[in-house]
Structure 1
């Protein structure tokens, strides 16, 4: 099944071959491989998610299908990463053709669990060196522990492998209409994609809580040691959070990025029961408007 991915890699131009690392080169870079595995394989664990790779495109995408509405893009993946995943048997080709589709395998889920466990251990050590506690850091750590412990092994996946946004997107009102329109889901997924890209910066995952509590963005925007792509993603997140303001930015970060459930978010923020989903929808509407005003569309290219 890896032959199709290898064939796709051969369609690259010589210029691309000279400027970007090939799949086997990525296999020699354990840090980069682990980072991409945590980012991409986690999205492939979500219900209805596939990796789509076209023969004439430099990038692959992870698409997630919902019962109603068009598929939503949840990640962008370089061709080399897709090839490396296929060579590792982490993904399996389920449909061939000009656009091939890949699904995560049992080996891919096992690899993701291992990488998540290693990341949790690293974060615990770093957290132990920090002074003070943060409810935002606790939210993110709690989710990582639960996900790493139970949601990526075996064939049967727990519902915890899905984000609160995805679960809300399936809910319907008494008239049969979805609670969240597809464009709002897309806006939330776009924000989460930026958040995950921003984590590629050194120590980035431990700094968002400080910004959310104090508003101090010095460590987020002033770090000159990170690459341009994560730095740009941070700036896009900060711009969106400025637009949302307190309250709306909190619920977006908790539910879209830290993947905290609505009930837990309501309790942490002192809100009344069942109010979180309404506030989240308002936040997503504001976020969608922000992307439209800034870019003319939601899915400005990432990756």
Structure 2
């Protein structure tokens, strides 16, 4: 079934938290949700920039500071969100780095893996009980076509590697981790009988700020050509993410991307993924490694002691 942003239902009364919501696909996601009435919460490193963007989105847009390269910051952000909001209906794990200026995160992890995967892993688990008590809540993790070029296997050595700053393999590995995380999370939510669902999406190719990093020299001519020929503007590239976030016909565990021309064009549709991304044993190993490295563990819900959802939509103090 074809889908466009015109199919996004009324979002009034819903709260959407978007990481990296101040530019590119994150901004377009926030903008579309805000237009339909959602309270949008922009989780970003640059609070001043976030406030400027939020002003343009309207009175129902908020900003929280989040640095995914710091697990301490992730914990602070999660605590602030939990204090300030009675519900989270949509969590969009969108922010990411590609060929970043620094080798490692604050906690000593390879930058792609630490920011793109571990930071979002920790944030999601720290907010999960709030989402489990919000009927119809959805967690959308943004991955990439680049997961197809990733070497399989994750271990503490690769997680702390110093050689990934300009590595296509390291970026691809982090996006493979995003997809595997989304699928393992869905399995766990389903086992609990939770209403919350986990969905993954990729944007195809989009000329966002990610491409402004320090790419390897051999990749630059290829990336320029690919962007010129195949890239879509961020507003179109955000469509798979928006469908994953708002179309309740999309089941938990689904993976969406553009439906035509090698998944670079067309309306959002089920996307193809690698065999390694579907390996349930590898998904479990990645999950256990992520718990160990982040210090954040999955707390299962019995379904019996879940608090009643709080319908009020409020702003965080201050």
Same fold judged by TM-score > 0.5? no
Q: TM-score, normalised by structure 2?
A: 0.28
**Which structure has the larger Rg over C-alpha atoms?**
1
Kindly indicate which of the two structures has a greater share of residues assigned to helix. Answer: 1
